[in-house]
Chains A and B, each alone.
Chain A
Amino acid sequence: MSTIAPARVVLEAAGIRKQFPGVVALDDVSLRLRSGEIQALVGENGAGKSTLIKILTGVYQPDAGSVTIDGAPVRFGSARDALKAGISVVHQEHNLIPQFTVAENILLERIPTRLPQLVDYAAIYREARPWMKTVGLDMPATRSVSALSAAQMQLVEIAKALSLQARILLLDEPTAAITPHETGYLFRVLRELRAQGVAVVFVSHKLEEVFELADRVTVLRDGRNTALDHEIKGLTQDQMVTYMIGRSDVLAQLPARPARGEPVLEVRDLATEAGARGITFSLHRGEILGLYGLVGAGRTELAKAIIGELKVTGGDVLVRGRSARIRDLRDALARHRIGYVSENRKEEGLILLHSVLTNMSITIWRRLRLFGQWIRRSSETAAVMPLVKQLDVRAHSLAQQVGTLSGGNQQKVSLGKWLAADVEILIIDEPTIGIDIKTKNALHELIWNLAANGKAIMVISSDMPEIVRLADRILIMRNHRLVGDISNSHDYEEVSAAIMSRLS
């Protein structure tokens, strides 16, 4: 864990202030980073992490405060300046060219040439290989990036950053899109880099990972430092949560609910075009059924097959005891009162350019219409307003564009349209991905309440603490098969061990 050489401060940001119209994003924020150290940067959504990263990488200029590298003050006019100073950032969205090979992507900024302007392919592959080796990318350098997994693309980006002589590596939620196994691998690579003297900033929502990987932590809350360069050793998870949100009791166990009712959704020996086979389970009124599995296990595909958006090739789906042939989501909603909250709210859940009102009433336009086609805004507002209150959607008006809301509020809207439609069965795919603890807790309580009021809810999640907190029963999925159906005792140690034993 400990570093060998006495660590030297390579990057220091002090007293950073950044104001945007109407909001102070950062107020007197500092960050200190040493070579050969992994510094976690944590905070809730909107705490200012991204803004700080953008200032360190030259995307934004601070209104006040200073950034120094090796003790010398610097002022970045653009992302290029920061890159030249040795600061590289690996974003969640990959900045790679999918059609190009791994080697070309790594050396993209300075493709080696023979003669003026003739690409020297042999040199590209020769020069890229050592960098691939550094991050443990064991594959031909001629592989196209489009054929890689999310985790491998991340490694390509890290290799690219290292090849640009990056001494400071900023990783923005690097584990959000990759499996626990790949996360373990990424951590090994990062520790290796630390040993070589690279300074790493690691932004994450997952506190378990912060404790596992980081040496020190800087916490932001509402644009201010609540912890600066704090040693991880000796810090408890409760203390960390307190730094983040001001109190530590948010993720307490949820109270018990009335017993579940009759089954409303029964899946029997289902087979799908996506590869699922022999899927059998039932979902009851008033129940929260968890579906746990790693990314790639086929959970989302199973959900989409149930709502008719992917083809079912065998078996039966029964809704309220009757065999249902669901053609698409429209059918699922209109005939069977099933709703589906996508894991991908920006691409599949919401119309970002449209208003909160439109995004929440979209499922009930048909119900609200008069004389066949006519729709009155007042009846739409009347239907949506109570839900906005119930969900505590923070928007300045119903007309606000959904794309301008925070992630947590977007998720509430994404959920809200199904509450408006008053569905009986709700499948929620990754309810709190990328959402801060406070909102996560609010969403958990909301889902709990829906079940208490008789809805049948299936929660798909790869967040083990979430599943253990929320679900009454947990289905475990692996490689398109159900490999476990366990009753949840809410004892994290016991249940997570039971889940892991079925996954290995």
Chain B
Amino acid sequence: MVAIWRRMSGVALGLLIVDLAGALLLTVVTPSFTSTYNLFITGRDFSILLLVALAQMIVLAVGQMNLSIGAIGGLVAIVESGLMVSYDTPVVIAIACGLVLGAACGAVNGLLIHWTKVNSFILTLGTSYVFAGVNLGITHATPFYHIPGAVASFGQARIGAFPEIAIVTIVLAVALAVFLRQTVLGRQLLAVGGNPVAAALSGLPVRRVIVTAHGISGFFGAVAGTLLMAQLGEGQPTIGVTWILPSFAGPIIGGAVLAGGSAPLLGTVFAMVLVSLISDGLILVNANPYWVQFFVGALILGGVLLGRVRAVGLRDVFRLKSTAPPVTDRPAEEPVPRRPAEQK
């Protein structure tokens, strides 16, 4: 615990304080916030959306994006429920197929980006339509009802206010943290994100690293889709369609560097807690639910702006300058002369 506390970034710490204050506020303002049922519902939504945010975080860590997380989640949920409902496939096999499919969809994203050199934004936007298109082609927009009771009841199960699906999220988040800090591939992933050219010229396997990041992203999206299917009790073709915003909200508010090289896991967790608190709080105070999106959007903008202020200082954010000062805390440093690449 002490180690975690000491390593916590300023952003994560700030978010934690805001989270605690927000929770306290909701406790005081709305008695129903601390009701077992409300905590369970909020925790369950949080467990799924955190996986979605981590799916985005891992791709942002290599300096790319994945706009197809929701489409992968939806496709996986459909394939799993379809296998279970229409082909009577055993639950374990159906889910295993789904998760492998999710990771494979992600890996395909990574490979296509590596081969074509097309920007990840536009490429995953394209594949998201492909994945969603397969989903619609299979289902014709009709859900697979009546998935096996064991799956559906896991989606509803709780120990007190603690949703059992959160166990999956916790295990995966811890595994991801260990992966990034303690394994060679995890370190390589952050290095490639920090500077792909330098990483390649240091002997790192860049393609493998990029494909791995996208594969993990697809896998996390697949798990999120599976959990949402379990929670809903049916294979809804619309699973994942609203995930794009939360997927970016978590890592960006959590302090991720969009250019790559950082994976602020704790920041992402606390940012998603904040998003959950705000959504829940707005419902509890009977705010118009249609305005929730507005607040989450404003929160993301605030997070991005905050990140920019941290990088270059308050003064320079609001002053239009032709050149942004370097992001260092050593203003007295002499610049290094740059030479253009030698010409042929």
Contact = CB atoms under 8 A, between A and B. Distances in A.
Interface stretch (B81-89, B184-192, B286-294, B300-308): B184-192
Given A340-B201, A373-B184, A373-B185, A150 B340 contact: yes
Contacts of B261: 351, 353-354
Contacts of B190: 354, 358
Contacts of A430: 339
Interface in B189-234: 190-191, 194-195, 197-205
B332 A46 contact: yes
A470 to B, nearest CB: 19
Contact of A351 (B191, B203, B334, B342): B191
A5 interface: no
Interface stretch (B47-55, B90-98, B143-151, B322-330): B322-330
Contact of A51 (B185, B191, B332, B343): B332
Contacts of A353: 194, 257, 261-262
Give the most central of B191, B326, B337: most A CB within 10 Å: B337
Given A176-B337, A352-B195, A365 B328 contact: no
Given A172-B335, A347-B197, A330 B342 contact: no
How many chain B residues sit at the interface, stated as a range, is: 35 or more
A149 B338 CA distance: 13
Nearest to A375: B184
Contacts of B328: 401, 403-404
Interface string A420-438: 0100000000100110000
A374 B183 contact: yes
A348 interface: yes
B175 interface: no
B344 A301 contact: yes
B339 A358 contact: no
Contact of B187 (A47, A60, A301, A365): A365
A208 B340 CA distance: 23
B331 interface: yes
Contacts of B2: none
Contacts of A267: none
B242 interface: no
16 contacts: A25-B332, A50-B334, A91-B335, A93-B323, A149-B343, A177-B338, A300-B341, A330-B204, A340-B201, A348-B201, A353-B257, A353-B261, A362-B204, A365-B184, A407-B333, A434-B337
A403 B205 contact: no
Nearest to B205: A330
Contact of A329 (B185, B200, B340): B200
Nearest to B343: A296
B116 interface: no
A275 to B, nearest CB: 5
A95 interface: yes
A296 B200 CA distance: 23
A328 B200 contact: yes
A348 B85 CA distance: 53
B337 A173 contact: yes
A417 B340 contact: no
Given A351-B194, A375-B184, A375-B187, 11 more contacts: A20-B332, A150-B339, A275-B344, A329-B201, A346-B338, A353-B194, A354-B191, A362-B187, A362-B204, A365-B188, A374-B184
A485 B200 CA distance: 31
B202 A45 contact: no
Interface of A: 20-21, 23, 25, 45-51, 60, 78-79, 91-93, 95, 149-150, 172-173, 176-177, 223, 274-275, 295-301, 309, 328-330, 332-334, 340, 342-354, 358, 362-363, 365-366, 369, 373-376, 401, 403-404, 406-407, 410, 417, 421, 430, 433-434, 480
A45 B330 CA distance: 13
A20 B333 CA distance: 11
A309 B201 contact: yes
Nearest to A175: B337
Contacts of A78: 319
A210 to B, nearest CB: 15
A200 to B, nearest CB: 18
A375 B332 contact: no
B207 to A, nearest CB: 10
B336 interface: yes
Contacts of A349: 198, 201
Contacts of A347: 195, 197-198, 338
A376 B194 CA distance: 21
Nearest to A47: B334
Given A95-B322, A349-B201, A354-B194, A46 B187 contact: no
Contacts of B184: 365-366, 369, 373-375
A369 B332 CA distance: 39
A47 B183 CA distance: 41
A60 B335 CA distance: 16
Given A20-B332, A406-B333, A417-B202, A348 B197 contact: yes
Interface in B225-268: 257, 261-262
B181 to A, nearest CB: 8
Given A20-B332, A25-B332, A300-B341, A362 B197 contact: no
Contact of A342 (B201, B262, B336): B201
Contacts of B342: 295-301
Contacts of A332: 203
B195 A92 contact: no
Nearest to B322: A95
Contacts of A50: 332-335
Nearest to B188: A365
Contacts of A373: 183-185
